[in-house]
Amino acid sequence: MFEDRKWLPVFLISPANVLLLLFIAVPSIYIIWLSLHKLTFGMSSTFVGLDNYIQIFSDPIFWRAALNTFIVVNIVVYAELALALILALALNTNFWGKGLVFSILIAPYAVSEVSAVVMWRYLFEPDIGMFNMVLQSFADIQLNWVRNPTHGLTLISILSIWIHLPFTLIILYSAISTVPGDLKNAARVEGATEWQVFLKVTMRFIAPAILVAMMFRYIFATRLFSEVWLLNEGGPARLTEVLGTYLFRAAFRYHDFGTAAATGLAMQFLALLVASFYLYKLYKRMQADG
Amino acid sequence: MDDRKIILTGRSLILLIGVVWSAFPIFMVVSSSFKPALDIFAVPPKLIFTPTFENYIALFHDWPEFVGSLGNSLIITVGATLITAVTSLLAGYSYSRYRSRLLTLSAFFMIFVRMLPPIVVTIPLFPVVNALHLNDTYIILILLYAAFFVSLATWIVKTFIDQIPRELEEAAEVEGASIWQMLYKVIVPLSIHGMIAACVFVVIFSWNEYAFAMIFTSNTARTGPLILSEISGAVEGVQWGVLFAATSIQLLPILIFVLFVQKFIVSGLTAGAVKG
Amino acid sequence: MNVKMKPMVGRMLKGAVAAALMSVTCSAVNAAELTIIGHKVHKNVSTGEKGGDFAGEWAKASNSKINWLTFNVQAIHERLFREASLGSTTIDVGFAANRYFAPHFPKMFQSLDEYNAKSPIENFDELPKGMLGALTYNGKLYGIPFRHATGALHINTEIFKEKGVAIPTTFEEVLAAARKLTFKRSDGTNVYGMLLDARNPTIITDFARAMNNGDYLTPDFKLKANSPAMVKAVETVVRMFKEGVLPEAYLNFKTEDVITYMQQGRGAMAISPFGRYRNYNDAKKSKVAGKVISIAVPKSETLKGFNVAPVRTEFWAMLIPKNSDNKDLAWDYIRNAVSPENTIRAAVNGNGPVRPSAYSDQRVKDKVPYAAAEQAVLAVARPPVPGFGNSAKAEDIFVEEVESALLGRKSAQEAMDSAQARITPLLPK
């Protein structure tokens, strides 16, 4: 197909790649250079070799942040996958008001994070927040996220799922709707139960979409920042710190640009690690389709 | 018949919970914007109150630049979305239909490059953008936002194009269609829901993005989230009512947008055309 | 003059006149533009309705146009420092808060001594020495203070009356009153004896200062984190938290929460800047409007040499980026903004004036009920910590250690010892 125009494929991918090259890839080279230097406002850079990396890797707070990030990201990504799948399936039929229902389900993603955190904080404020008051009267416990880091991470996870569930939902909802009805009917005719239809037909069909959604969700999730920062700034006592807040402090609070660059690259490596499974699957799939 | 009823109740219950879960905090924000300031943080929370517009009036009085900032957000959002849509369509099509070492490499390059947290990139970009006199312009944010979403959009579009049988393109080629006609007449209509899904992400992101807008805009291209951050960063005490009013207004266009495009995300109608 | 030259001279003369005319009219048309970066509150107090728009008046008089660029606090400094690091910038005047002062100022900002010598600020000697000192590097001055926020004790008189407690006159009485005024109302709401801003580590410094003029970091960078004064201050706050005198959510308390709780009548006392008086007594937003008074934080009875506690003062200063194109104009603006008259007008607009004399002016006395108290405190208040390269890191470490103590994971002594150990390597050599 169009084989005579060898340059065509390259031409088609260039606008997208040029954007990325200019605005991310080329600055990244500078970032790599920067991570080997010490730099802040008003002084010229000094070469320090791997000092920045040694510094962050010997900082217990960095590892706590890495652990917290790892835990929250995994909870959030899989919870969202499960919830989005359930919701997408529930939506995959025609009923009056479906558009409105879907829009409401997407709405949390559209809210600015500042407002979302304010509201969730208010609902979960110790003693006086609505949800905590209800929890107190029914189960005699509270989500004491101010004092207890585990509760803190729980609230952060809930908050993050609330904001970001629509991301996975939109992709899955769109993909599920493309599953050809005839395939499903053919399977039903052959005696498959709904569950089998779901597994063998629907899931196989939307698997590539799930892969893409998961991979990007993982990448975006490792940058978890606003939910943590706006809630508790990584507190109490830096116990709910995540890599996103660690990076923010280095870049925007301490203006320690070398360390910020090193942290950013460490996060990139972590994202690569965490998404590698999905990357591999995508690669295999691409080879298979070719 | 019983089986169906169970499924129906199950669906309805799930969707009901989903709707309440999604809508409740938003409802709190919007309804609080109509509460007199005294009642907003009252404990126990006041569910019945006399609504007032005072917060909205105060918003427009204290922050007259808010409306203009939303206009800027609109321009930048539309620009970024258009660029993302076009570039990701071209790239997604190419990755879907062609294979070569270079293509595979660049497809994964697009993912890899996105693993770096974007804010780090502002450190070198800021002086460069200023030297080029691109600071405080619409174009710089348009290009930046497009760059951030072109990877995701490309991969989503590619996934959808993968499912379009090649016979259609071959038929078009036989009829002498150029690549552009083919993209326009065959590919776009059949992958439109994927494209729209990807566009929704760019739109929401661009509309709400704060960090880059803070660094690269001054007064001309200032966007909505900056005003929101100013309102919530008041040094003499946050005016919560005003903040909620501003949040509600800023939220509204996105909700309308989602309401409008959500039917294009599903392909109930076009499934039939795919069959040969 | 020979005949041939006449027409040429004539043309030259005409040209010269035309050029002169053009330059005059052009300068009227192309008024100079001054870009100021700061917080909206700075703009409001400089262009307010009550005290007058002295910024606008200056602009008219100097035939220029002011371009205000406002952000939230963190963003102001982010942009200001980045802009000042460029080759050239459009920013001419920048507001910076003392927390962000750093040793890179001399590289980024214009030293102002020459400007002050050429075109001096009126009554320059009146500006607080402590503030000017914080803006001086290697003997040169880099900024002019404009606005201050100094700690006060805000008292909900209604709650005091309810429980029959007298207004405290010493710091010991403050602590005792806080204990007595922590209770649960019949409708189930909690009232807390004291409301503090936890995110702000200087609150501990305030306690140390009130009790015995203690310090966490002296102006010459001696770290006193685990000095007995600081440990005692931390222990006091920890004890208050354990006894429930401080709110349950104290660990996460920001300025906003102090204001909200106070406005909702859930606090008997609060230590926050004097300016918050207006928030607590705002009839539209506060349930206890009209019932809150603001006084100087009383000192401990064992503290000699002071009338009131020498609590923290935080302030904003105006600076001129080195790479600005309009430095003369910028200086002119600054000079005008801190003139004695305009300081008073800004105070009427709601600003915290850095000139003590402003508090003696009748206009300020009329508009600001706590003027006398603020004046007394301003005389002895000091910036909480000097700014240095690793200020922010040191602050984060300090907050973390205090929070560990509050959580009960460490004793106050252990926490402060740890802070001392961790912060010492970060101090300037």
Tell me, yes or no, whether C157 and C42 share the same domain.
no
Nearest to A128 by CA among C287, B241, C185, C283: C185
Q: What pLDDT was estimated at residue B269?
A: 40
Contact B197 A103 (CB under 8 A): no
* Rounded Cα gap, residues C64 and C32, in angstroms: 5
Give A30's pLDDT tier (boundaries 50, 70, 90).
very high
Tell me, yes or no, whether C308 and C162 share the same domain.
yes
B235 pLDDT above the threshold of 90: no
- Which carries the bigger pLDDT value, residue A46 or residue C219? A46
Residue C360's domain comprises 11-149+313-378
The C-alpha torsion from C287 through C291 and C294 to C300, rounded to 10°, is -110
Q: What pLDDT was estimated at residue C4?
A: 52
Establish if C393 touches chain A: CB-CB under 8 angstroms.
yes
Among the partner-chain residues B43, B44, B103, the one whose CB lies closest to the CB of A13 is B103
Q: Quickly count: other Cβ atoms within 10 Å of residue C338's Cβ.
A: 24
**Chain A partners within 8 Å of C249 (Cβ):** 125-127, 146
Tell me, yes or no, whether C92 and C109 share the same domain.
yes
Question: Which residue out of B40, B41, B240 would a mutagenesis test of the C interface target, given it has the greatest number of C Cβ atoms within 10 Å?
Answer: B41
| Residue C194 near residue C247, CB atoms below 8 Å | no
Burial tier of C253 (Cβ tally within 10 Å: 0-12, 13-18, 19+): buried
Question: Where residue C96 sits, what CATH number does that domain have?
Answer: 3.40.190.10
- Which carries the bigger pLDDT value, residue B237 or residue C394? C394
User: Tens digits of per-residue pLDDT, A93-147?
Assistant: 888 888 889 989 999 998 878 778 877 887 888 777 778 888 888 887 788 888 8
Question: Which residues, other chains included, contact B42 with Cβ-Cβ below 8 Å and sequence gap of 6+?
Answer: C264
Confirm whether C3 is domain-assigned.
no
Confirm whether C1 is domain-assigned.
no
Q: How far is B250 from chain A (nearest CA, A)?
A: 8
Q: What pLDDT was estimated at residue C32?
A: 87
Q: What pLDDT was estimated at residue C5?
A: 54
Contact C72 B126 (CB under 8 A): no
Q: Quickly count: other Cβ atoms within 10 Å of residue A1's Cβ.
A: 12
Tell me, yes or no, whether C221 and C324 share the same domain.
no
Nearest to A174 by CA among A208, A209, A202: A209
Contact C74 A252 (CB under 8 A): yes
Contact B120 A31 (CB under 8 A): yes
User: Tens digits of per-residue pLDDT, C184-233?
Assistant: 888 778 899 999 988 777 888 889 889 888 888 888 888 988 899 899 99
Reported as type and span, the H/E element at residue C95 is strand C93-97
Confirm whether C4 is domain-assigned.
no
Among the partner-chain residues C107, C403, C407, the one whose CB lies closest to the CB of A42 is C107
Q: What pLDDT was estimated at residue C39?
A: 95
* Rounded Cα gap, residues C163 and C109, in angstroms: 54
Confirm whether C242 is domain-assigned.
yes
Give A4's pLDDT tier (boundaries 50, 70, 90).
low
The C-alpha torsion from A48 through A49 and A50 to A54, rounded to 10°, is -20
Counted across chains B and C, CB pairs separated by less than 8 A come out at 70
Establish if B100 touches chain C: CB-CB under 8 angstroms.
no
Q: How far is B231 from chain C (nearest CA, A)?
A: 8
Domains of chain B (ranges plus CATH)? 55-275 (1.10.3720.10)
**Chain C partners within 8 Å of B41 (Cβ):** 260, 263-264
Considering only A44-48, A93-97, B123-127, C41-45, which range has the smallest mean pLDDT?
A93-97
Confirm whether C15 is domain-assigned.
yes
* Rounded Cα gap, residues A267 and A272, in angstroms: 8
Tell me, yes or no, whether C116 and C76 share the same domain.
yes
* Rounded Cα gap, residues A211 and B111, in angstroms: 13
Question: Which residues, other chains included, contact A250 with Cβ-Cβ below 8 Å and sequence gap of 6+?
Answer: A256, A257, A259, A260, A263
Q: What value does the mean pLDDT take over residues C41-51?
A: 90
B58-63 long-range contacts, Cβ below 8 Å, gap at least 24? B58/B239, B58/B241, B58/B242, B58/B245, B59/B242, B59/B245, B59/B246, B59/B249, B62/B239, B62/B242, B63/B227, B63/B230, B63/B231, B63/B242, B63/B246
| Residue C335 near residue C206, CB atoms below 8 Å | no
Confirm whether C279 is domain-assigned.
yes
Confirm whether C393 is domain-assigned.
yes
Q: Any idea how long chain B is?
A: 276
Nearest to C247 by CA among C260, C233, C234: C260
**Chain B partners within 8 Å of C87 (Cβ):** 127, 131
Among the partner-chain residues B147, B201, B225, the one whose CB lies closest to the CB of A23 is B147
User: Tens digits of per-residue pLDDT, A157-197?
Assistant: 999 999 999 999 998 988 888 888 788 888 888 877 777 77
Q: What pLDDT was estimated at residue C19?
A: 54
Q: What pLDDT was estimated at residue C18?
A: 54
Q: How far is B148 from chain A (nearest CA, A)?
A: 8
Q: How far is B22 from chain A (nearest CA, A)?
A: 6
Counted across chains A and B, CB pairs separated by less than 8 A come out at 268
Q: How far is B218 from chain C (nearest CA, A)?
A: 7
Give per-residue burial for B184-194: e unless 16+ CB within 10 Å, then b.
eebbbebbbbb
Tell me the C-alpha to C-alpha distance, in Å, between residue C233 and each of A264, B36, C421. 38, 39, 19
Q: What pLDDT was estimated at residue C10?
A: 55
- Which carries the bigger pLDDT value, residue C385 or residue A281? A281
Domains of chain A (ranges plus CATH)? 59-289 (1.10.3720.10)
C25 pLDDT above the threshold of 70: no
Tell me, yes or no, whether C246 and C166 share the same domain.
yes
- Which carries the bigger pLDDT value, residue A2 or residue C425? C425
C15 pLDDT above the threshold of 60: no
| Highest-pLDDT range among A286-290, B179-183, C110-114, C133-137 | C110-114
User: Tens digits of per-residue pLDDT, C348-371?
Assistant: 998 999 998 999 999 999 888 899
Question: What is the pLDDT of chain C when averaged over all its residues?
Answer: 88
How many helices (H) and strands (E) in chain B?
14, 0
Q: What value does the mean pLDDT take over residues B18-22?
A: 93
Establish if C286 touches chain B: CB-CB under 8 angstroms.
yes
What is the DSSP secondary structure assignment for residue A268, as one 8-state letter?
H
C-alpha atoms less than 13 angstroms from C-alpha of A245 in its C-beta half-sphere: 25
Contact C393 A254 (CB under 8 A): yes
Number of folded domains that form chain C: 2
**Chain C partners within 8 Å of A235 (Cβ):** 251-252, 399-400, 403
Tell me, yes or no, whether C294 and C324 share the same domain.
no
pTM: 0.89
Give B1's pLDDT tier (boundaries 50, 70, 90).
low
Question: What is the pLDDT of chain A when averaged over all its residues?
Answer: 87
Looking only at the bridges linking them, the beta strands covering C267-273 and C190-195 are parallel
Establish if C249 touches chain A: CB-CB under 8 angstroms.
yes
Confirm whether C320 is domain-assigned.
yes
Give C259's pLDDT tier (boundaries 50, 70, 90).
very high
Considering only B65-74, B184-193, C81-90, which range has the smallest mean pLDDT?
B184-193
Question: Which residue out of B54, B209, B229, B235 would a mutagenesis test of the C interface target, given it has the greatest number of C Cβ atoms within 10 Å?
Answer: B235
Nearest to B208 by CA among B171, B172, B250: B250
Give B176's pLDDT tier (boundaries 50, 70, 90).
confident
- DSSP states along B122-191: HHHHHHHHHHTT-TT-HHHHHHHHHHHHHHHHHHHHHHHHHTS-HHHHHHHHHTT--HHHHIIIIIHHHH
Q: How far is B233 from chain C (nearest CA, A)?
A: 5
Grouping H, G, I as helix, E, B as strand and the rest as coil, residue A36 is coil
Tell me, yes or no, whether C235 and C181 share the same domain.
yes
C31 pLDDT above the threshold of 80: no
- CB < 8 Å from B in window 175-194 of C: 189
Q: What pLDDT was estimated at residue C7?
A: 59
Nearest to B253 by CA among B217, B213, B223: B223
* Rounded Cα gap, residues B79 and B35, in angstroms: 36
Tell me, yes or no, whether C143 and C162 share the same domain.
no
Among the partner-chain residues C67, C71, C86, the one whose CB lies closest to the CB of B130 is C86
Tokens of C137: 């590097």
Among the partner-chain residues A43, A231, A237, the one whose CB lies closest to the CB of C407 is A237
Tell me, yes or no, whether C359 and C410 share the same domain.
no
- CB < 8 Å from B in window 132-161 of A: 133
Tell me, yes or no, whether C192 and C280 share the same domain.
yes
Considering only B96-105, C25-34, C328-337, which range has the smallest mean pLDDT?
C25-34
Question: Which residues, other chains included, contact B12 with Cβ-Cβ below 8 Å and sequence gap of 6+?
Answer: none
- DSSP states along C241-281: HHTTSS-TTGGG--HHHHHHHHHTT-EEEEEEEGGGHHHHT
| Residue C326 near residue C90, CB atoms below 8 Å | no
* Rounded Cα gap, residues C65 and C56, in angstroms: 8
Tell me, yes or no, whether C88 and C204 share the same domain.
no
Q: Which residue has the tokens 């009642």?
A: B39
Q: What pLDDT was estimated at residue B6?
A: 83
Q: What value does the mean pLDDT take over residues C265-278?
A: 92
Q: What pLDDT was estimated at residue C20?
A: 53
Give C268's pLDDT tier (boundaries 50, 70, 90).
very high
Dihedral of CA C212/C218/C220/C224: which sign?
A: positive
Work out the percent of chain B whose per-residue pLDDT is above 90: 49
User: Tens digits of per-residue pLDDT, A194-214?
Assistant: 777 777 788 888 888 888 888
User: Tens digits of per-residue pLDDT, B145-161?
Assistant: 999 999 999 999 998 89
Nearest to B16 by CA among C165, A90, C150, C19: A90
